[in-house]
């Protein structure tokens, strides 16, 4: 067994991932240039696996402006106070050192898909044979007009991209008086990480229970009901956080009053907060528009699920939160990692003149922290259906926790450590 093959098998095992692979782990004979835009869960994984599975034959350049990877998964624990930002930050160094990925610390500003060229904010240009876009999401601030400027966004935070806003929201919560109200506005689905807002409510409630017991968490959900793990979250709010968390459905946010921290809704009365946290509606990140791959509702990118190549633009693959999801598929880091492996295998095969695997299978597990230790999960398996030409959830192959438990807390931390290693080590 070659070292590369052994490394690959270990990596797949470590992530518990059953992403679709071609018949062999590496494919000698693949060559060419791949540019990956975005070093998050999708892009970093794709960059590493294309290098590994082509036995170093494909030249891979990863474009990412951030100096380090900061994980959204576990970032709600920073709000609760049981984790720090440093504890969810991972270096990009191993991608370059161990895998030979060329890392360019820059922002892609436009894509010329005819010339197959990526233009960078710093003035450089990168040619490609195949382009992989995993740029995540942009916020549709035009749907919350008063938030459509930098000053307002510095006061009413989203903290829906882990980083400085996560720390700033934690500071707002720490500065809030005991007896204050934290209001969390959730957009209508689809949005990044369906259970994430409800986990956030639990983490803030956990913090209030320890440090500010007279304070309240008010969830104002644009959806008609909790969109993921509903019975488990509702049980936690009724029991663990009785008298702290209140949930209200059907609250579609139309605007905010930034000066008074007031949220305004389509139908319901306005609500004033002490800390107002708005998760705005989302769409594929701007660079996807430049590449011309946004196809659904002027928001998301449709892909061929055998390769994750855009249905509209040849040689451009799109991963992660930017895509128009298949039925039952969440916008999650685990899913982005799985998209990346299917795409990496396909890119390696295509650049070697071979057909991609016709039957990919992807898995997903999303853990949610109810307290600092007690966790619940939802998991699913998604298999390619040749007739429907999409990925479908395999009946009976997934499920949810019967109840929160500390053992699942250990699994959740192990999941995070494994997927960070699988993506970046």
Ligand X SMILES: Cc1cc2nc3c(=O)[nH]c(=O)nc-3n(C[C@H](O)[C@H](O)[C@H](O)COP(=O)(O)OP(=O)(O)OC[C@H]3O[C@@H](n4cnc5c(N)ncnc54)[C@H](O)[C@@H]3O)c2cc1C
Binding site for ligand X (CB under 6 A): 37-43, 63-66, 72-73, 75-76, 107-108, 134-136, 160, 192-193, 196, 285, 287, 320-322, 331-334, 336, 366-367
Compare residues 57 and 320 and give the one whose CB is closer to ligand X.
320
Residue 30 structure tokens: 């693949």
Compare residues 212 and 339 and give the one whose CB is closer to ligand X.
339
Compare residues 25 and 370 and give the one whose CB is closer to ligand X.
370
Compare residues 54 and 75 and give the one whose CB is closer to ligand X.
75
Residue 384 structure tokens: 């390619």
Compare residues 135 and 280 and give the one whose CB is closer to ligand X.
135
Handedness of CA 268, 269, 270, 271 (dihedral sign): negative
Compare residues 63 and 404 and give the one whose CB is closer to ligand X.
63
State in angstroms the smallest separation of the CB of 99 from ligand X.
17
Compare residues 42 and 409 and give the one whose CB is closer to ligand X.
42
State in angstroms the smallest separation of the CB of 267 from ligand X.
27
Q: Which residue's CB atom is positioned nearest to ligand X? A: 40
Contact 118, 126 (CB under 8 A): yes
221 has which bridge partners?
186
State in angstroms the smallest separation of the CB of 186 from ligand X.
12
What is the CA 245 to chain-centroid distance, rounded? 25
What is the CA 48 to chain-centroid distance, rounded? 18
Which DSSP state fits 296?
Answer: B
Pairing of strands 309-310, 282-284: unpaired
Alpha carbon distance 77, 416 (integer Å) = 13
State in angstroms the smallest separation of the CB of 389 from ligand X.
22
Compare residues 79 and 218 and give the one whose CB is closer to ligand X.
79
The three-class DSSP label of residue 165 is helix
State in angstroms the smallest separation of the CB of 176 from ligand X.
19
CA-CA-CA-CA torsion for 398, 403, 409, 414, nearest 10 degrees? -10
State in angstroms the smallest separation of the CB of 110 from ligand X.
9
What is the CA 149 to chain-centroid distance, rounded? 24
For residue 400, which of 248, 194, 184, 220 has the smallest C-alpha distance? Answer: 194
State in angstroms the smallest separation of the CB of 46 from ligand X.
9
Alpha carbon distance 320, 338 (integer Å) = 9
Q: How many CB atoms lie within 10 A of CB 90?
A: 18
**Tokens 């055998």 found at:** 306
HSE value, Cβ hemisphere, 13 Å, CA-based, for 54: 31
State in angstroms the smallest separation of the CB of 25 from ligand X.
23
């Amino acid at each position: 067994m070659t070292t590369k093959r052994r490394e690959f098998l270990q990596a797949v095992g470590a992530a518990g991932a059953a992403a679709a692979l071609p018949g062999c782990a590496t494919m000698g004979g693949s060559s060419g240039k791949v540019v990956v835009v975005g070093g998050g869960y999708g892009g970093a994984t794709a960059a590493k696996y294309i290098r590994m599975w082509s036995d170093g034959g494909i030249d891979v350049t990863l474009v990412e402006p951030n100096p380090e990877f900061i994980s959204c998964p576990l970032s709600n624990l920073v709000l609760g106070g049981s984790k720090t930002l440093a504890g969810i930050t991972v270096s990009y160094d191993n991608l370059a050192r161990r895998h030979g990925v060329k890392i360019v610390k820059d922002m892609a500003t436009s894509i010329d898909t005819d010339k197959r060229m990526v233009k960078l904010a710093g003035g450089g240009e990168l040619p490609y044979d195949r382009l992989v876009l995993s740029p995540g999401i942009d916020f549709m601030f035009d749907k919350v007009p008063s938030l459509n400027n930098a000053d307002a966004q510095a006061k009413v935070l989203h903290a829906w991209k882990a980083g400085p806003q996560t720390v700033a929201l934690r500071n707002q919560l720490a500065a809030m008086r005991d007896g204050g109200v934290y209001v969390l506005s959730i957009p209508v689905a689809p949005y990044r990480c369906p259970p994430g807002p409800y986990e956030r409510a639990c983490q803030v409630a956990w913090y209030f229970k320890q440090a500010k017991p007279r304070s309240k968490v008010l969830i104002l959900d644009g959806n008609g009901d909790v969109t993921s793990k509903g019975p488990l979250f509702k049980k936690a709010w009724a029991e663990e956080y009785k008298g702290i968390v209140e949930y209200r459905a059907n609250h579609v946010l139309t605007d905010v009053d930034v000066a008074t921290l007031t949220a305004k809704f389509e139908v319901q009365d306005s609500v004033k907060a002490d800390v107002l946290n708005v998760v705005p509606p989302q769409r594929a990140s701007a660079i996807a528009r430049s590449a011309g791959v946004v196809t659904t509702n002027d928001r998301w990118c449709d892909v061929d699920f055998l390769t994750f190549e855009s249905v509209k633009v040849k040689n451009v693959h799109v991963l992660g939160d930017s895509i128009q999801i298949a039925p039952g598929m969440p916008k999650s880091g685990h899913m982005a990692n799985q998209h990346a492996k299917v795409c990496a295998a396909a890119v390696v095969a295509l650049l070697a003149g071979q057909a991609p695997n016709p039957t990919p299978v992807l898995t997903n597990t999303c853990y949610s922290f109810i307290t600092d230790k007690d966790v619940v999960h939802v998991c699913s398996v998604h298999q390619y259906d040749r007739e429907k030409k999409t990925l479908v959830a395999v009946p009976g192959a997934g499920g949810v926790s019967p109840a929160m438990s500390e053992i699942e807390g250990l699994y959740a931390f192990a999941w995070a450590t494994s997927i960070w290693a699988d993506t970046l080590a």
